[in-house]
Amino acid sequence: MLYYEGEFDTQEIDLVCVEEGYRCLVSEHAGGLVGYSDLPQSSLVLCDEITSSLLTETALVETIAVVGIGGSTLGIKAIDRLLRSTTPHAKKIVYFENSDPVSIAEETAQLNYEKTLFIVISKSGGTVETLSIFKHLIATFNIPLQDSKQIIIVSDDGSILSQFADHYSIKRFVIPSNVGGRFSVLSAVGVVPLLLAGFDVAAILRGAHSFGERFWDRQEDHLLHKAAFYVANAKNHPINVLFSYSDRFEEFGKWVVQLWGESLGKKNQEGERVGLTPISLIGSVDQHSFLQLIIEGPLNKTVTFMSVKHSNETLMIPEMNLPFLEKSDFVNGKSFDTLINAQCHATMQSVAQSGVSVDEIIWESVDEVSVGEMILYYELLTSASGALLEIDTYNQPGVELGKQILQTYFNH
């Protein structure tokens, strides 16, 4: 269960924009152009398929090594971190992402090859980091490819990586062609590794599905209000901060940053550069780092505060009076949950008083259903904002030039 509260009331919001946002999303999704909101239902089939076959086949696996980068890992890492502490028996997932030799060597050295399942994920199938690391792993462990039971491929149907998988009769899963990489966490991209690791993926999908149903039924219009507010204020408030009060949101924040930044940073139909810059912070830690800038720096930011009412961890601050440290006794006998939530709300109040626009998302607890809800919430928020910015939310033409330049460095 999630609660949303914000300043995006009808006085500030252009209701024409709200309707326009809704209309665009309906048209995108009904036309089949954009497929991510179908995933909560279609991936249930995938869950059944995996549960009835692969789950027993991979029972002896101890570690899942995900080889991928960007949209192929950020969502998995977000869910892994959010639900790890309440899913203690889940298998370990390690991530081979960056072309950083130090990380690759360290992670490789820690693998117990015999007990590892490699899941190679690339939507296009041609990601240079992913394929280079995959080759390194094949060479290091001398992995046999033909009919390999230790490799799973997740990619677009017909991609070069999918063709490679078919050539060697390696098990593969398809990312629907109308689902972009950064919107793909509820497709095979997230479902395959998370389900095989032991997470309750079906419950995540149910949460996402129910949020989607409510949204299409106009019961979650606050999301459209927020998008309309952000877009109307994009010039004055070009930076959107997500301030999450739990360490478990670290990777979720990175997932939001990709979704928001890469979807909305675009040239619009007039060729004008538009976009909103996402920043993810963790409270209370970043009260001691970034808060000063929010409170007294330029008024160019909005802040969304995210907190967890009940963390499932009942740790208390002891009733302990230490000489000279009486100053901190005001929290004695309270739970750390109470402290961190009070810090969240005190900070939100001080930020709002400084003139910064804030809103709030409260998680009753971090459970599978809420995780699913929140994923669809941010995906729909991004789509609505993109529609109102009049851009193509789903492409990323700006990153191509760097890839071309990279090739020229090696072609001589």
Cα angle 228, 251, 353; round to 5: 50
Separation of alpha carbons 57 and 48, rounded Å: 14
Residue from 219, 236, 328, 365 that binds a copy of itself (CB under 8 A)?
328
Separation of alpha carbons 398 and 412, rounded Å: 25
Considering the complex, state which of residue 124 and residue 210 has its C-beta at the smaller distance from a copy of itself: 124
173: tokens are: 């899963």
Cα angle 182, 35, 22; round to 5: 95
Of 10-18, 26-34, 52-60, 403-411, the segment contacting a copy of itself by CB under 8 A is: 403-411
Q: How far is the CB of 75 from a copy of itself (least distance, A)?
A: 12
Considering the complex, state which of residue 49 and residue 261 has its C-beta at the smaller distance from a copy of itself: 261
String marking each residue 302-321 x if it binds a copy of itself according to CB under 8 A:
---------xxxxxxxx-x-
Separation of alpha carbons 282 and 318, rounded Å: 24
Q: Say which DSSP state 178 is in.
A: T
Of 20-28, 39-47, 58-66, 348-356, the segment contacting a copy of itself by CB under 8 A is: 348-356
Separation of alpha carbons 245 and 236, rounded Å: 26
Contact 274, 396 (CB under 8 A): no
Of 41-49, 183-191, 216-224, 292-300, the segment contacting a copy of itself by CB under 8 A is: 292-300
Considering the complex, state which of residue 154 and residue 196 has its C-beta at the smaller distance from a copy of itself: 154
Considering the complex, state which of residue 38 and residue 286 has its C-beta at the smaller distance from a copy of itself: 286
Which residues are the active-site residues? 262, 288, 403
| Contact flag: residue 293 with a copy of itself (CB under 8 A) | yes
Residue from 8, 301, 358, 385 that binds a copy of itself (CB under 8 A)?
301
Amino acid at 28: E
Considering the complex, state which of residue 66 and residue 294 has its C-beta at the smaller distance from a copy of itself: 294
Sign of CA dihedral 58, 63, 67, 71: positive
| Contact flag: residue 203 with a copy of itself (CB under 8 A) | no
Q: How far is the CB of 74 from a copy of itself (least distance, A)?
A: 7
Specify whether the backbone of 369 is left (phi greater than 0), alpha (psi in -120 to 50) or beta.
Answer: alpha
- Reduced to 3 states (helix: H, G, I; strand: E, B; else coil), residue 92 is strand
Please measure the distance between the N-terminal and C-terminal CA atoms of the chain and give it in whole angstroms. Answer: 57
Separation of alpha carbons 68 and 411, rounded Å: 25
- Reduced to 3 states (helix: H, G, I; strand: E, B; else coil), residue 175 is strand
Per CB under 8 A, contacts with a copy of itself among 14-73 are 69-71
Contact 40, 205 (CB under 8 A): yes
Residue from 41, 55, 339, 390 that binds a copy of itself (CB under 8 A)?
339
String marking each residue 112-151 x if it binds a copy of itself according to CB under 8 A:
-------------xx-xx-xx--xx-xx------------
Per CB under 8 A, contacts with a copy of itself among 84-113 are 85, 97-106
| Contact flag: residue 231 with a copy of itself (CB under 8 A) | no
| Contact flag: residue 238 with a copy of itself (CB under 8 A) | yes
Amino acid at 25: L
Q: How far is the CB of 72 from a copy of itself (least distance, A)?
A: 8
